[in-house]
Structure 1
Amino acid sequence: MSEPTGSPRSARPTLSRQIRDGLLQRIVSGELGEGDRLIETKIAIEFGTSQAPVREALRQLEGLGLIDSQPRHGSRVLPFAEQTIREAYIVRAALEETATRLAMLAATLPFDRLGEAVEEMYRSAQDNDAHGIGLASARFHRHVVQAGGNVLLTRAWEALQIEARTAIALMVTRPKLERVADEHRELLDVMRAGDVEVACRHARDHQWAYADTPHDPYGTPKH
């Protein structure tokens, strides 16, 4: 899976992703509540498009567990459960720990690209651009996962819809954006230092911090 060329800021999101992200914002903010219907024709008119990208956007939202779609009955918004979204971070932590190990053992981590993603995060933080920092974060981690060279692992990671889940996490937790960039800089520094076990633990902890559990991955209670 190749990375698109050109500046990250120049890359235009697909229309289906624009629609997905617009509806995602409304669901997480509560503008769209439990049981509200999502009508394809109305959404298509609002976004000035055909129904095909609307259907793709709804399919992605269903995959995230945010809506329920039934044949001949359309789509309705499900109760927004933060726990459901955050559970994905436990799975993601395991995948990224493994990818980090594989990539470091093979010496395939693209440090230049990882550094570029971190710099993009700092620029987004300065602009107070949560969406931009979410995309740069996903790009950082995608580089690591792809560097692991395991196709099945990469497919499992992509199936989590990382950009969308990152956007949700940022909306729900509202972290300081510069701190998000700092966390990625710290992770990159650990990877560059070359200690595989330390880097794997850092990669795991980096994701587990967003999981809504009463303990960390080592069984220590959270306070």
Structure 2
Amino acid sequence: MAPNLRQPRVRRSVHAFSLIELLVVILLVGVIAAIVLPALAKSRQKAMAAESLANSRAIGAAFKQYANDHDGALVPVNPVGKNAKANWAQELDQYDQANHRPAAAAAAGIGYNRRLSQVRRLDAIAQPARTVAFGDTGQIVNPEERNPDRWREEPSAKPQVARLFETPASNEWKTSRNRMVNRHLGRANVVFADGSAARMPVSRVGFQFEAGHARALWDSQ
């Protein structure tokens, strides 16, 4: 009988190769996701911050126009003679001109400076361009914290329209949880009494300083 010269068939490790290949693909997908997802999240946060700043500018323009139309008087927290549910945001509605977005809707999560709300007239504010009238506001969980940039907003609290934020000059300062908060990438959108708007850390508003201090931008003096 002639000898069998055929070589034994070498069985390729198909399953092992496929598993390694799959693991490599999974690893690559994980790396790409780790890079792309945070970038997408940050882009979304930037877009939300830009929209909020646009809303703040609309409120600033309405605030200034209200004063012009009322002989320099500032918009009151609760307009006299209005119904019990009337508030400053609703009062500014008629002056809003930004994309036809009502000031009351734009004001969700925005607070009026309690200190400034007690001032009757715009000309009573020494430096309108350096006095914060409105800002991102929410209920915080740590009102005893002295560093404003460390104030943490209550995650379950829903943004409210026409809120007030407290200042060191308020009797409710130590007990109230209504404070300005860094809501957008470590910063808050603020509206100054001259109608301009900007984004800055809450600490720059100067809640760590008493009334009369040059860095207390919440103070009308």
**So what's the TM-score if we normalise by structure 1?**
0.31
| Bigger share in helix | 1
Whose Rg is larger? 2
**So what's the TM-score if we normalise by structure 2?**
0.31
